Chain A
């Protein structure tokens, strides 16, 4: 177990290192993305560009630049080229909003996906199943930002049921916090409800054919109990894997569209604004932050999976 965990940790570090190098290269090797020239402005004279370059340390070798940036990340002194704000502080400031959005959406999508997937599997082939299947497929076919825009237009602007958003901190007013987040939660959850309920349905249909379910039935356990205790429980293991991966991805940048449309001052919106000005340090910071979450949850899921399902031996590669 310990060896497994240590190996995973090394793997995590290696992946994060590779990602940081790639992001750095994207912004430094691709032609015409010279940050000094961008910051100095379109009509800057060569001296100004040279001064900006020296200020930001961009005249040093690319390896030195990379090492400086990594050192800044670890010491928390990374600052934006465009606004000279501290990147770490900005991400930290955006974190409560992003986590509020993601955790709320995650609770919603898991609850709905389990209910829909369960109903779909129990009534497989019937009207309920067909309706839920179509709904699920619609859910995974809707562009998130478009759904957000449509909900905002019809429910907030036309019907005025919900506020035309923006985020209210939980500590300030819990009621308003939830009220302002209802539409973003729904928007972010829709895709995953569609997707997870489909996966749960097919898992449950598979498990229903297992021998132990027949055994349980032979023992005279009620059908309801079989479905919940034996079928649903065992079908949830792969869902938990998916959940770990997707939750990591959503916190690590997946919520950028939802945050942009609903104007929630989270990490995603911060990244979106940094992209507008092609500001490398915030993008590097947010990407590393996002990748860290994704890799972390990947690892947690692998370990948890081995824990939940004793059939998986830890020495082997974890299943995809």
Chain B
């Protein structure tokens, strides 16, 4: 033994047997075990990487716009001509049909009815769509964790009041609530105290989408906290004199982190779908700003003459949301193989 006389040794740590590298008996945290399980799930991991790639490509939008397409996402080129196979052609032909996708350099994915470069719009639109998805998921997560912790820890009248509010939001037809808020807020913007959000800001769809999904996440967290609250470690924390806030933050919260992570991932996917629906109905992102939803809404008007305007942004939504769903699914299996998490639309 290395400890000097008089020093108290830490109890409970058995000596490492001879011949075994100390590393081999290293304690394995639940996170490490989850990572090992996730690593085995190649499909989920692959889709996780795909999502990160999509994000990176969209973040690189200005590079494509400046160096390849030489145009911005909102710049019209209705009267411009472009060189295709040695021939000059109108970007938007006189009968209103824009050029389709093809390897003609500038308009890789063709142009839309305003002569805007679809590839550039797609990249910038992806930034908006993904940003709204992630930001709204953050709003939902913060609110849902707060509500879940308060309801589950305090129970009683706090739980009663917050749960009834959740019930009301739950019973609201999601799309109708989103549309009603989206259309009215877009007219006048939002002023809460000193905070002013203008009507065409992306923060309006973010706040709406973030609010709408709170009950779907808060309910399961509340349920978990209710069960955890009865455990001995909470009793021990109370006995140590810890206050409610410290118990919630440092004792209860770490125990629901895996649920939160899984929900957060799947929530981004759902948010992106809701954003596209709201934008399609004209209650989400305001034109001329591009998001994948507004691009479909624009393109759908001309689906019979220029189907690529509808197909391309929709395919990007499917790919991104699918990547998140598959990755989230794998994450859930890895973090908590017995969990039953439900997210709905």
**Which segment of A11-19, A174-182, A215-223 sits at the interface?**
A11-19
Which residue from A153, A275, A278, A294 sits with its C-beta under 8 Å from B303? Answer: A153
- How many Å lie between the Cα of A274 and that of B174 in the bound state? 17
Give the residues in chain B near A26, CB-CB below 8 Å. Answer: 180-181, 184
Q: How large is the interface on B (under 10, 10 to 19, 20 to 34, 35 or more residues)?
A: 35 or more
Cβ of A31 within 8 Å of any chain B Cβ, yes or no, is: yes
Which of B184, B191, B296, B322 is most buried by chain A, counting CB atoms within 10 A of its CB?
Answer: B184
Partner of B168, one of A15, A137, A272, A276: A15
Q: Given A141-B325, A271-B179, A283-B176, 5 other A-B contacts at CB below 8 A? A: A33-B188, A138-B322, A143-B296, A153-B303, A195-B344
**B183 at the binding interface (Cβ < 8 Å):** yes
Indicate if B138 sits at the interface (CB-CB under 8 A).
no
Given known A-B contacts A153-B310, A320-B223, A33 and B187 have beta carbons under 8 A apart: yes
Q: In the bound complex, what is the Cα–Cα distance between A291 and B296 (angstroms)?
A: 29
A32 at the interface (CB under 8 A from B): yes
B34 in the interface, Cβ–Cβ < 8 Å?
no
Say if the beta carbon of B58 comes within 8 Å of chain A: no
Q: Is the interface of B mostly helix, strand, loop or mixed?
A: helix
Contact B173 A143 (CB under 8 A): no
Which residues from chain A sit less than 8 Å from chain B, CB to CB? 11, 14-16, 18-19, 22-23, 26-27, 30-33, 134, 137-138, 140-146, 149-150, 152-153, 157, 191, 195, 199, 202, 246, 249, 252-254, 256-257, 260-261, 271-272, 275-276, 278, 283, 286-287, 290-291, 294-295, 298, 320
Are B189 and A153 interface neighbours, CB within 8 A? no
Q: Total contacts A to B, CB within 8 angstroms?
A: 145
Name 20 A/B residue pairs within 8 A (Cβ), A-sorted.
Answer: A11-B167, A15-B171, A16-B171, A26-B184, A31-B191, A32-B187, A33-B188, A137-B326, A141-B321, A141-B325, A142-B318, A145-B277, A199-B342, A253-B176, A254-B174, A256-B176, A257-B280, A257-B281, A287-B172, A290-B173
Is the beta-carbon distance between A253 and B175 smaller than 8 angstroms?
yes
In the bound complex, residues from chain B placing their C-beta under 8 Å from that of A246 are 344
Q: Shortest CB–CB separation between residue B227 and chain A, in angstroms?
A: 13
CB pair A149–B300 under 8 Å, yes or no, is yes
Residues A256 and B175 in contact, CB atoms below 8 Å apart:
yes
Q: Which 7 A-B pairs have the closest CB atoms?
A: A32-B188, A253-B173, A146-B314, A290-B173, A141-B322, A31-B188, A141-B321
The answer to whether B173 and A254 have CB atoms under 8 Å apart is yes
Q: What residues of chain A lie closer than 8 Å to B283, measured between beta carbons?
A: 275
Assembly CA distance A257 to B314 (angstroms)? 15
Name the residue on B nearest A252 (C-beta). B173
- Contacts A145-B280, A256-B176, A257-B280: A30 and B188 contacting too (C-beta < 8 A)? yes
Task: Give the residues in chain A near B136, CB-CB below 8 Å.
Answer: none
Enumerate chain B residues within 8 angstroms of A138, measured Cβ to Cβ. 318, 322
Q: Contacts A14-B164, A149-B296 given; indicate if A143 touches B317 (C-beta within 8 A).
A: yes
Closest beta carbon of chain A to B337's beta carbon, Å: 11
Chain B, residues 279-321, CB within 8 Å of chain A (1/0): the string is: 0111100000000010010001001100100110010011001
CA distance A157 to B307 in the complex (A): 11
Which residue of A is nearest B338, CB measured? A206
